[in-house]
Chains A and B, each alone.
Chain A
Amino acid sequence: GDSVTQMEGPVTLSEEAFLTINCTYTATGYPSLFWYVQYPGEGLQLLLKATKADDKGSNKGFEATYRKETTSFHLEKGSVQVSDSAVYFCALSAGGTSGSRLTFGEGTQLTVNP
């Protein structure tokens, strides 16, 4: 079945550091890939997405590129801020026989210190 594996957390960085959160997936067909972010006490917010190979999703300084050859969708940001502290979830939606299922990774807790 479909699965998403995320870099284990927690991750602690200083402000302005470079961020990478690794995400790899297993899926049949050609899934859409997503990064969601969850701030403390809130629900999930869509951060960015990519729907086909080599697509780059970007938002708020975050980027991720859909790499079919390595089945990866790593999240990057060049300079993190304290306000980026949150839990980040990688997810895929394969559609087809998987129907509407979004498969999530376990989440990576990011803490950014001033």
Chain B
Amino acid sequence: ETGVTQTPRHLVMGMTNKKSLKCEQHLGHNAMYWYKQSAKKPLELMFVYNFKEQTENNSVPSRFSPECPNSSHLFLHLHTLQPEDSALYLCASSQAAGRETQYFGPGTRLLVL
């Protein structure tokens, strides 16, 4: 498999559930990112990892918890979400953090009931 993959592609969860989103990149990159895409809003950068270390947290609520066990995998753990958290969550990777081109996965469409 090539590029950036994300699972699941679709997720429905209640506000009391705990779930995780997974991202895997097969490009040999060292930086990975989580973005949130809501209807009628610009893409919002959530987290950045560079060489497995978190380098940016864009004031994201603690109900979103990222994990990066290695440079190829990135998780977003979800807990007690709100309906306004329903969105498309996109993962991206790049060679390194900085001005490098970012490559995106297909996204996970999340619906919080």
Contacts and interface: CB of A to CB of B under 8 A. Distances in A.
Given A95-B99, A99-B56, A99-B97, A45 B43 contact: no
A25 to B, nearest CB: 13
Given A101-B45, A106-B42, A93 B104 contact: no
A104 to B, nearest CB: 5
A101 B56 contact: yes
Given A31-B99, A99-B55, 8 more contacts: A32-B101, A43-B6, A43-B107, A89-B43, A93-B99, A95-B99, A101-B56, A102-B45
Given A100-B31, A100-B50, A101-B56, A94 B99 contact: yes
B76 interface: no
A42 B55 contact: no
Interface residues of B, number: 26
Contact of B103 (A46, A51, A101): A46
Contacts of A43: 4, 6, 90, 104-107
B104 A100 contact: no
B104 A36 contact: yes
Size class of the contact patch on chain A: 20 to 34
A89 B90 CA distance: 14
Interface in A65-114: 89, 93-95, 99-102, 104-107
6 contacts: A36-B104, A42-B106, A43-B104, A44-B43, A100-B100, A101-B45
Given A42-B107, A46-B101, A93-B99, A100 B48 contact: yes
Interface in B15-48: 31, 33, 41-43, 45, 48
A51 B99 contact: yes
Contact of B104 (A32, A45, A105, A106): A45
